[in-house]
A and B are shown apart, each in its own frame.
Chain A
Amino acid sequence: MKVTVRFFASVKEQLGRELEEIEVPAGISTVGGLRAHLRARGGRWAEVLAETRRVSAAVNQDMVKPGAAIRPGDEVAFFPPVTGG
């Protein structure tokens, strides 16, 4: 399935990427699975999306936990903990 992945703030800066269409391999069905898939690219991806880093996620603009399901056409976003207000 294809999903759109967006990155924000320090995650975007460190990955040098803002937006990407990704063909998700069969067997990956959650946000946490997608994060691990991206991490497996190695280099910066492994570093920025490391399990020890606090990275939040949203699916279709709703904040979710790593176990949240992803479906074809979803917009998934990864970003650092928010600091507004």
Chain B
Amino acid sequence: MKILVQPGNFDAGLEIKALSNNPSIGAVASFVGVVREVAMTLEHYPGMTENSIRKIAEEARSRWQVIDCTVIHRYGELRPSDQIVLVAVASAHRGDAFAACEFIMDYLKTRAPFWKKEHAAEGPRWVEAKSSDDDAAERWQLRQGLTQP
């Protein structure tokens, strides 16, 4: 399990290749989040960020047959079309890989302590949390300890 929170970019291809290097792996599902339209600054809570991502990756491992996974999330200054986040999950079969990848991503949106500040033409503004993200996490019926406080 590899969890990185960093300002720098990542190479999704290399990360997926590194994950696949195990003969029992038959599927790698991945998601890359990209900055849309407006430049932004991403703030986070060092320490808690890594711990919270680790917790959900472990939760994913307990729910699906996950052989390995990589999560990389950037912070700092990001411009349109920059990559923000990578979630890649390796499993024996695609069903587990797809589900665990989506689960980790939905969790990240509602539980990992990141905050986006967009630098729009009218000036900087903090992005509001979306209730649709809460709903997306809710549908996994997160167990006690992972539910939204």
B-binding residues in A (CB < 8 A): 6, 8-10, 13, 54, 56-58, 61-66, 77, 79-85
Contact = CB atoms under 8 A, between A and B. Distances in A.
A80 B126 CA distance: 10
B122 interface: no
B112 A85 contact: yes
A85 B33 contact: yes
Interface in B88-112: 105, 108-112
A82 B108 CA distance: 9
Interface residues of B, number: 29
B128 A84 contact: no
A65 B144 CA distance: 12
18 contacts: A8-B43, A9-B126, A13-B126, A57-B149, A58-B45, A63-B111, A63-B149, A64-B149, A80-B129, A82-B113, A82-B114, A83-B115, A83-B127, A84-B73, A84-B109, A85-B105, A85-B112, A85-B133
A1 B44 CA distance: 27
Contacts of A10: 115, 126
Contacts of B42: 84
